Structure 1
Amino acid sequence: MLDAQGNPEPFAPSRIPSEKRPLRVVESRQTARHSLESWLDSRNEDSLAEQHRWALAPPGKLLRPVLLLESALALGGSADQVAPLAAGFELMHVGSLMHDDIIDGDELRRGRAANHSRYGVDRTVVAADALFFAVFQTLGECRLRGVPDRLITDVTAVVAEAGLDITRGATMELDLSGVLHPDTGTYLELVRLKTAALLRAACRSGGVLADGSPEHVAALADFGESLGVAFQIKDDLLPYTAPPGTAGKPPTSDLRNRRPALPLLLAHRHGDDAQRALLTELLTGEGEEELRQERLHRLLETTGALKAAQDTANRRLERCRKALEALPHSPHRSRLAALADHFSSREQIR
Structure 2
Amino acid sequence: MEGSDLDLMETLGEYSKLINPRLEEILADITPRSLYEASMHLISAGGKKIRPTLALLSCQAVGGEMEDAMNVATAIELIHTFSLIHDDIMDKDEMRRGQPSVHVLWGESMAILAGDILFSKAFESTLKTRIDETSYKRVKNAISIIIDSCVKICEGQALDISFEENFNIKEEEYLEMIYKKTAALISAATRSGAIMGGGTHEEIEALGEYGKLIGLAFQIHDDYLDIAGDEKTLGKPIGSDIAEGKMTILTVKTLEKASEQDREKLIRILEAKSQEGVNEAIEIFKKYETIEYAHRLAKEYTKRAKEKLKVLEESQAKKLLQEIADFIIERKH
TM-score (norm 2): 0.89
CA distance in 2, matches of 1:81, 1:252: 43
Q: What one-letter code is carried by the residue in structure 1 that aligns with 2:38?
A: Q
Q: Deviations over 1:3-58 (max 9, x none)?
A: xxxxxxxxxxxxxxxx9776654432332233334334454765411112222122
Equivalent residue, structure 2, for 1:308: 293
1:206 CA displacement: 0.3
Unaligned runs of 5+ in 2: 1-5
Match of 1:70 among 57, 61, 68: 57
CA distance in 1, matches of 2:165, 2:88: 18
CA distance in 2, matches of 1:79, 1:45: 33
Q: What one-letter code is carried by the residue in structure 1 that aligns with 2:82?
A: G
Equivalent residue, structure 1, for 2:226: 239
The worse-fitting range, judged by mean Cα deviation, of 106-115 and 318-327 is: 106-115
CA distance in 2, matches of 1:56, 1:26: 14
Q: Does residue 322 of structure 2 align to residue 337 of structure 1? A: yes
How many residues of Structure 1 are paired with residues of Structure 2 in the alignment? 329
CA distance in 2, matches of 1:275, 1:174: 25
TM-score (norm 1): 0.85
Question: CA-atom RMSD, angstroms?
Answer: 2.7
Match of 2:18 among 31, 39, 57: 31
The change in CA–CA distance for 1:145 and 1:259 in structure 2 (over 3 A counts) is farther
Q: Does residue 45 of structure 2 align to residue 58 of structure 1? A: yes
Retained in 1: the 8 A contact 2:191–2:207? yes
Q: What one-letter code is carried by the residue in structure 2 that aligns with 1:59?
A: G
CA distance in 1, matches of 2:78, 2:233: 22
The change in CA–CA distance for 1:242 and 1:42 in structure 2 (over 3 A counts) is farther
Q: Deviations over 1:191-235 (max 9, x none)?
A: 111111100000000011011110100000000000111111112
Retained in 1: the 8 A contact 2:221–2:295? yes
The change in CA–CA distance for 1:248 and 1:30 in structure 2 (over 3 A counts) is farther
The worse-fitting range, judged by mean Cα deviation, of 141-150 and 263-272 is: 141-150
Match of 2:191 among 176, 197, 204: 204
| Residue correspondence of structure 1 range 139-178 to structure 2 within 5 A | 139-143=126-130, 148-178=135-165
Q: What one-letter code is carried by the residue in structure 2 that aligns with 1:102?
A: I
Retained in 2: the 8 A contact 1:182–1:266? no
1:146 CA displacement: 9.9
Equivalent residue, structure 1, for 2:112: 125
Q: Deviations over 1:73-102 (max 9, x none)?
A: 111112123222212211111111111111
1:300 CA displacement: 2.5
Q: What one-letter code is carried by the residue in structure 2 that aligns with 1:95?
A: F
Retained in 1: the 8 A contact 2:243–2:275? no
Q: Does residue 262 of structure 2 align to residue 281 of structure 1? A: no
Equivalent residue, structure 1, for 2:303: 318
CA distance in 2, matches of 1:40, 1:147: 28
The worse-fitting range, judged by mean Cα deviation, of 157-166 and 135-144 is: 135-144
Retained in 2: the 8 A contact 1:107–1:114? yes
Equivalent residue, structure 1, for 2:176: 189
Match of 2:278 among 293, 311, 329: 293
Higher helix share: 2
Percent of aligned positions that are identical: 27
Retained in 1: the 8 A contact 2:58–2:194? yes
1:270 CA displacement: 3.2
1:283 CA displacement: 0.8
Retained in 1: the 8 A contact 2:164–2:247? yes
Equivalent residue, structure 1, for 2:81: 94
The change in CA–CA distance for 1:145 and 1:338 in structure 2 (over 3 A counts) is farther
The change in CA–CA distance for 1:346 and 1:130 in structure 2 (over 3 A counts) is closer
CA distance in 1, matches of 2:206, 2:67: 23
CA distance in 1, matches of 2:7, 2:319: 19
Retained in 2: the 8 A contact 1:151–1:208? yes
Q: What one-letter code is carried by the residue in structure 2 that aligns with 1:322?
A: E
Q: What one-letter code is carried by the residue in structure 1 that aligns with 2:81?
A: V
The change in CA–CA distance for 1:68 and 1:147 in structure 2 (over 3 A counts) is farther
The change in CA–CA distance for 1:250 and 1:98 in structure 2 (over 3 A counts) is farther
SS in 1 for 2:314: coil
